Amino acid sequence: MQAVRIRAATTSDLPDLSRLWHEKMVIHQQLDRHVMLAPDAESRWKLAAAGWLLDQQCAVFVADVDDEVLGYIVGRIQASPPGLLPESIGFITDLTVDAHRPGGGVGRLLLDVMRKWFLECGIEQVMAQVPASVAVEQAFWRAQRAVDWVDVMWLKL
């Protein structure tokens, strides 16, 4: 097996990326009653991801071996709340690794490339959206020295 390659995602990756996203979200749905997938969730995600590939404020990177996608990461630059510095921050909305392929440090490799992209864009602080109900994802981010900052509260009306 060849070494893991990290590269910018292309539209030809979208079927694999949306499949990985959907598999992960099915697991999240089983772990968290707040997660409810729409019947066409995978196609909606694929459409949104196609837009991210065109957005200069977003980056999507893919990990692959022998052209088989192992995972991906999605990040974007967003404005900080008014009056707060820095004026812009990085936001990692998704980091997904194929659950059927164990280990290998793919998540860390993807994060390293995203960190580099943020730094090249002048971003020095990053937030990550990490589900509270998924212990393995929490552990990954803590191992990267990420710390809790805010709690997101869920209020059903």
Kind of pairing between the strands at 5-8 and 126-128? unpaired
Asked if the structure places residue 113 within a domain, the reply is yes
CATH number for position 9:
3.40.630.30
Looking at the structure of the chain, the number of domains it has is 1
Flag whether 98 is in a domain: yes
Confirm whether 157 is domain-assigned. no
Q: Is residue 124 part of a domain?
A: yes
The per-residue b/e assignment along 18-46, b for 16 or more CB within 10 angstroms, e otherwise, is bebbbebbeebeeeeeeeeeeeebbeebb
pTM over 0.75: yes
- Which pLDDT belongs to residue 156? 85
| Residue 116 counted as domain residue | yes
Instruction: For residue 61, tell me if it sits in a domain.
Output: yes
Look at residue 154 and tell me if it is in a domain. no
Q: How many CB atoms lie within 10 A of CB 81?
A: 7
More confident residue, 88 or 129: 88
Domain hosting residue 14, numbered range: 5-143
Whole-number pLDDT of residue 103: 67
Would you say residue 151 lies in a domain? no
Kindly state the average pLDDT of the residues 65-82: 95
User: What average pLDDT does this structure show over 106-120?
Assistant: 97
